[in-house]
């Protein structure tokens, strides 16, 4: 057995080994098939708000993903969502913004784009949604917030 010194320069065999390691992980634990499309959708949506004063990304709050309730926090705004299924199988989303305020809200899925506006108490409802990944964007006065993907 030839002992390989770690300070030797990387050579072709090392590169072959690294390529094989890459193939191995690509086969054993690849990214989800829809991940790139999900990200492209989210980035396109957030990019559309780049002209706004600030584009911010909310972060899902700890333990907020039980029983259809999801909370996203950011420095400027907290978005609390309650997601339920109607009798006809469509999805209803009730949301509340904190601090409360009337802001434009857009929900985008793979094939739907629904717009509404929260009331002065920060409440809003979007109904008739189909199941699947979605992104919510809230356009407040000086900031646009986009959530990571939500699975409806």
Partner 1 sequence: MVGGPRHGPKPPTDMGDGDTDNRYEHIAVLLEAARADPRGGMDPLIIELTPLLWHVARAQGLDAAHCADVVQTTWLNLLRSLADIHTPAALTAWLVTATKREAWRAKDAHRNETLAGDETFADLLDGSAGPVDQALVADQRRRLWKAVDQLSTRCQQLLRVVAFTPRPDYGLVANRLGMPKGSIGPTRGRCLAKLRELLTSDPDGEWG
Q: Which residues bind partner 1 (CB under 8 A)?
A: 1-32, 35-36, 38-40, 42-44, 46-48, 50, 55, 57, 59-63, 146, 148-149
Q: Which positions ≥6 away from 146 have C-beta within 8 Å?
A: 42, 45, 46, 49, 55, 56, 57, 58, 135, 136, 137
CA dist 147 and 127 (Å) reads: 18
| SS3 call for 37 | helix
Q: For residues 102 and 139, which CB has a smaller minimum distance to partner 1 in the complex? A: 139
Q: For residues 54 and 102, which CB has a smaller minimum distance to partner 1 in the complex? A: 54
Q: Where are the alpha helices (H) located in 31-104, listed in sequence order?
A: 35-47
Q: For residues 37 and 127, which CB has a smaller minimum distance to partner 1 in the complex? A: 37
Nearest distance, CB of residue 137 and partner 1, angstroms:
11
Nearest distance, CB of residue 99 and partner 1, angstroms:
23
Nearest distance, CB of residue 57 and partner 1, angstroms:
4
Q: For residues 35 and 86, which CB has a smaller minimum distance to partner 1 in the complex? A: 35
Q: Which positions ≥6 away from 136 have C-beta within 8 Å?
A: 79, 81, 95, 105, 106, 107, 146, 147, 150
Nearest distance, CB of residue 125 and partner 1, angstroms:
25
Q: Which residue has the tokens 């993903």?
A: 65
What is each CA distance from 120 to 18, 53, 143, in whole angstroms?
A: 57, 22, 17
Q: For residues 51 and 89, which CB has a smaller minimum distance to partner 1 in the complex? A: 51
Nearest distance, CB of residue 112 and partner 1, angstroms:
19
């Amino acid at each position: 057995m030839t002992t390989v010194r770690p300070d030797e320069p990387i050579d072709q065999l090392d590169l072959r080994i690294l390529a094989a390691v890459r193939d191995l992980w690509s086969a054993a634990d690849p990214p989800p098939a829809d991940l790139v499309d999900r990200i492209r959708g989210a980035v396109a949506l957030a990019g559309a708000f780049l002209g706004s004063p600030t584009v911010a990304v909310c972060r899902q709050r700890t333990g907020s993903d039980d029983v259809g309730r999801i909370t996203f926090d950011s420095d400027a705004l907290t978005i609390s969502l309650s997601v339920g299924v109607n009798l006809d199988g469509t999805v209803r989303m009730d949301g509340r913004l904190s601090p409360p305020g009337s802001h434009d809200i857009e929900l985008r899925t793979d094939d739907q784009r629904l717009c509404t506006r929260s009331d002065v108490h920060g409440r809003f409802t979007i109904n008739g949604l189909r199941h699947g990944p979605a992104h919510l964007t809230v356009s407040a006065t000086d900031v646009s917030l986009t959530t990571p993907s939500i699975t409806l």
